[in-house]
A and B are shown apart, each in its own frame.
Chain A
Amino acid sequence: MLEIKNLHVTVDGKEILKGIDLDIGAGEVHAIMGPNGSGKSTLSYVLAGRDGYEVTKGSVRFKGKDLLDMSVDERAAAGVFLAFQYPLEIPGVTTMNFLKTALNAQRKARGEEELDAVRFLKLVREKAKPLNVTDDMLKRALNVGYSGGEKKRAEVLQMSLLEPSLAVLDETDSGLDIDALKTVAEGVNALRSPERAMIVITHYQRLLDYIVPDVVHVLSNGRIVKTGGKELAHELEKSGYAGYGADAA
C-alpha cells in the first residue's frame, strides 16, 4: 500500500528526515513512536503534502503511484487521510457543510456520483452516532468551540465518512483524558479492515494499549532506529527514548 524509500526531507533548510524506509501493507497498523523533534509530525505532513516540506531525496509510492507527484487534495481523493494533532477551527463553515463538501469533492474526483442532501444526511448520522457526535455539533462551525475530545472525535468521524485506504493519525491521544481516548480508539478500531492501512504516530505507549499495532517503529533524529512488534512499545514505556540516541523526553 505504502512504500517509503530513503526519504529525506528538509524544512526551512534544515534536514528533519534523514533517510526513512517504511513498507506498509493493506490491513496493517504501524505505530511510529519517538521523542519530540524526532520527525514524527514531519513524516505525517509530507505524506499529506503540506507546503514547506521539501523532499530532497527518496520516494513515496502509494498504491503503486508516486504520491509526491500529487497535490494535497488529489492525495485525499486517492485515499490518504491525516488526522491532525491540532484540528483547525474553521469559523463560518458548519461541520455538516464541510463534511458534505469534502465527501462530494472526493467522489467527484474519483468520477463517482455526488450524494444529495438526503442521502448524505442519512450517511453522516449513521457514522456520527457511534462516535457520540451530536446533531448539535454537526450544525456548529467546524471545530469551533469543540473540546479537545470533540475535536478528535470529529477527526475520526471525517475518517469514517471519507473511508481512506491509508489513515495517518498524528498524536491522536494528545490532550485527551482516558474516557475520550477510549471513545476515539474504539472509533479507530472500528475502521480497521483488511483493505486499510494505518500509521499511528504517538509519543506515549498509552494509545497503543487501545489501538494495538502490528508493527512498532522507533523514530529518532530523522531515522527509524528500531522496528519490532507491539511489545516494543512496552519496552519504551519502561526505558524511555534515552537508549535511542535522543534525550529522554
Chain B
Amino acid sequence: MSEKATQKLVETYRGAQSALPGAGGWLARRRETAIDAFTQTGLPHRRLEEWKYTDLRQVLEKAILVPAPAHDGALVLPELHSATAFSAIDRYVLVFVNGVYQPGLSQLAHLSKGAELCALAEVLHEQWAKDIVERRFDDARQAEDIVDLNTALMSDGACLRIRKGVKLDKPLHLFFLGADAGASHTRNLILLENEAEATIFETHMGEVASFADIVTDVALGEGAKLNHVKLQDESSEAIHLSTMRTRLAASSKLSSFTLTLGCGVSRGQNFVLFSGEGAEANVDGAYALKGKQHLDQFCVIDHAVPGCTSHTLFKGVLDGASEGVFQGKVVVRPQAQKTDGRQMTHALLLSRDAAMNAKPELEIYADDVQCAHGSTVGELSKDAIFYLRSRGIPEAEARRLLVLAFLDETLELAPHEDARDALKLLVSDWFSEAGL
C-alpha cells in the first residue's frame, strides 16, 4: 500500500468510518475486513491482466478522492437529452445527487404491494441485505477485488426487494447525478424472490469531475425476471467504476443493457453466476465515444450449472482519440452440460486516432455445449458509402445511416420497448451533435 491513491482512500475510510451506515453492526466488521483486503492489494494497475488496458491506480492518482459535498438547493439537470430520455415513461424515480439519496426529488408514491424500496442505511438490519453483501463470486477475483473498496466506503444506494410472485407494476428509475466534484461510493442491492419481476433503469450523468464507484448486487430467485437498462452520459472528466454482480437461480432471466454516450474514464464490470439450471442472462451494450474518452467493458459469465444460456454483444463506435476496451470471459464448468454461451464484440473506428482493444475468451470444461465468441474492429466501408452516395444520399448522411445501422443490432436488445426507442433517439442525436 505504498501508492498515494490507495493511501488516500484508506485515510478517507478511517476518517468517515464512524459516520458510515451500519456503524457498530455486522457491516462495520465487514467494512474492516474489506479495507484490510483493499490495503493489502491496493488499487488495481496495468500489470494485472484484468486491468491491462485501464490502469485504475494511475487514473485515480489525479482524481478527487474525498467525498463530494452534500448537495443542497434545487436540482439543476444538465442540458442533455439523456437527462430526460426516460421522462415520457411512467415510472418510479429514485434520485441520488453526489451519491446521496434525495427523497424530496424522488417519486415513489404507491409502490406495488410486495415491493420494498429504501436507501441503504435503512435496510442493513435485514438478513437478505447481509446475505447479498457477503456473497462472493469465485471467478475473476482480481477484477472483483475492487469491490472491497466499495464495501468499506459504501454510503448510500437503492435497495429493492420484490416478494415472491410480485411484478413491479412500473419501471424503477435510479437517477444518479454528479453535481459537484468528488467521490461517491454507492451500493445497490436488488433481490427478486421466486417468480418476481422488475424493470430497472439507471441513469448516470453529470458535468463535473466526479469519481463514482458503484456496486450493484443482484439476486434472482427461481423464475425471477429482471430487465435492466443503464444509460451513462457523464462529463469527459468523470471517472466511473461500476460492478454489477448477478446470481441467477433456476429458470430466472437477466436482461441487462448499457448505453454509454459520455464518460471520462469508465470501467463497467459485469459478473454473472448461474446457480440453477435453465436460467438465461443477456448482457449487452452499445457505446459511442469521442475526444479522449476511455471505456472498458469487463464481463465474466460463469456457467456453473447445466442448461443455462448467456448472450453478450457489445457494439460501439469510436471517434477522436477515444479508446475502447472489451474483456470478456465465458466459463463453462465441467458439470455445465447443455450450456449455450455467446460473446461478441464489434467496434467501428471513425478516426485514425481512435483505438479498440478486445479480448473475448472462452474457458470450456464441458463437452456437450454450444459456445461462440468473436470480435471485430473495422471502419466504415468506403464501398458502402459510395453505394449510398451514388443514390443521392450526401456523405454525412450516408455515414450516419451506416453507423446507426451498425449500432441498431445491439440497441434492439435493450429489454424495454419504450426505453429502447429512447436510447435509439439519443444515439441519433449524439451523431447529429458530434457532426459526424
Contact = CB atoms under 8 A, between A and B. Distances in A.
A105 B394 contact: yes
A160 B383 CA distance: 22
Contact of B392 (A77, A90, A91, A92): A77
A106 B382 contact: no
A105 B388 CA distance: 11
A162 B404 CA distance: 24
A87 B387 contact: yes
B389 interface: yes
B127 interface: no
Nearest to B405: A92
B391 A158 contact: yes
B386 A72 contact: yes
Contact of A105 (B381, B383, B392, B406): B392
Contacts of B389: 49, 71-73, 76
Interface string A58-88: 0000000000000111011100011010011
Interface string B154-197: 00000000000000000000000000000000000000000000
Given A73-B395, A105-B397, A93 B405 contact: yes
Q: Is the interface of B mostly helix, strand, loop or mixed?
A: helix
A101 B401 contact: yes
Contact of A162 (B386, B388, B391): B391
A50 interface: yes
Interface string A101-121: 111011001000000000000
Contacts of B382: 51
A138 interface: no
B237 to A, nearest CB: 33
Interface in A117-158: 141, 158
Q: Which of A48, A88, A158 has the most CB of B within 10 A?
A: A88
A141 B402 CA distance: 12
A84 B389 CA distance: 13
Contacts of A49: 389-390
Contacts of A106: 391-392
A102 B401 CA distance: 11
Nearest to B408: A92
Contacts of B392: 73, 76-77, 102-103, 105-106, 109, 162
B80 interface: no
Q: Which of B382, B383, B390, B393 has the most CB of A within 10 A?
A: B390
B402 A93 contact: yes
Contacts of A77: 392
B140 interface: no
A47 to B, nearest CB: 10
B394 A90 contact: no
Nearest to B401: A93
B384 interface: yes
A76 B405 contact: no
B393 A92 contact: no
A122 B278 CA distance: 47
B384 A88 contact: yes
Contacts of A90: 384, 387-388, 402, 405
A82 B383 CA distance: 14
B391 A102 contact: yes
Interface string A151-178: 0000000100010000000000000000
B381 to A, nearest CB: 8
Interface in B359-397: 381-384, 386-395, 397
B387 A92 contact: no
Interface string B401-436: 110111011000000000000000000000000000
Contacts of A91: 405-406, 409
Q: Which of A49, A51, A73, A98 has the most CB of B within 10 A?
A: A73
A82 B391 CA distance: 8
A92 B406 contact: yes
Contacts of A141: 405
B393 A73 contact: yes
A214 B398 CA distance: 36
Nearest to A91: B405
Contacts of B398: 73
Contact of B394 (A51, A73, A84): A73
B401 A76 contact: no
A128 to B, nearest CB: 16
Given A51-B382, A92-B408, A82 B390 contact: yes
Given A93-B401, A93-B402, A88 B383 contact: yes
Contacts of A75: 390
Contacts of A51: 382, 386
7 contacts: A51-B382, A75-B390, A76-B389, A105-B394, A109-B394, A141-B405, A162-B392
Interface of A: 48-51, 71-73, 75-77, 81-82, 84, 87-88, 90-93, 98, 101-103, 105-106, 109, 141, 158, 162
Which 10 A-B pairs give the minimum distances between C-beta atoms? A92-B405, A76-B392, A106-B392, A102-B391, A72-B389, A88-B387, A93-B405, A73-B389, A92-B408, A77-B392
Given A50-B390, A51-B386, A101-B393, 11 more contacts: A72-B386, A72-B390, A73-B393, A73-B398, A75-B390, A88-B381, A88-B383, A88-B387, A98-B391, A109-B394, A162-B392
